[in-house]
Amino acid sequence: MKLINVVLLSSAVSFLAMGMHQLFLHGILASYWLFMLVFALLMVYRYKTKNEVKTEPAKKVVQNDSKPKSSKRKK
């Protein structure tokens, strides 16, 4: 996980906690902007993680054409 993803996700969680606190103290009108900020941060986080999966280069698979050595023991 990249640093920007960690910052986005931890910011969203922090603002969610602040929004819940404001909701209980002052009501939804005072905390609405915090919930919208949380929503925006989560959408940016999701967009960035989806794009990282698409842009990762595919790993090359190396095929081993040699035959495995036999495991017969000499007596």
Predicted pLDDT at 16: 97
Domain boundaries, the chain: 3-51
pTM (two decimals) = 0.69
d(CA 30, CA 22): 7
Q: What pLDDT sits at residue 61?
A: 64
Question: What's the confidence (pLDDT) of residue 55?
Answer: 77
pLDDT one-digit tens code per residue, 5-59: 999 999 999 999 999 999 999 999 999 999 999 999 999 999 999 988 777 666 6
pLDDT at 65 over 80: no
CA-CA distance, 52 to 14, in Å (whole number)? 24
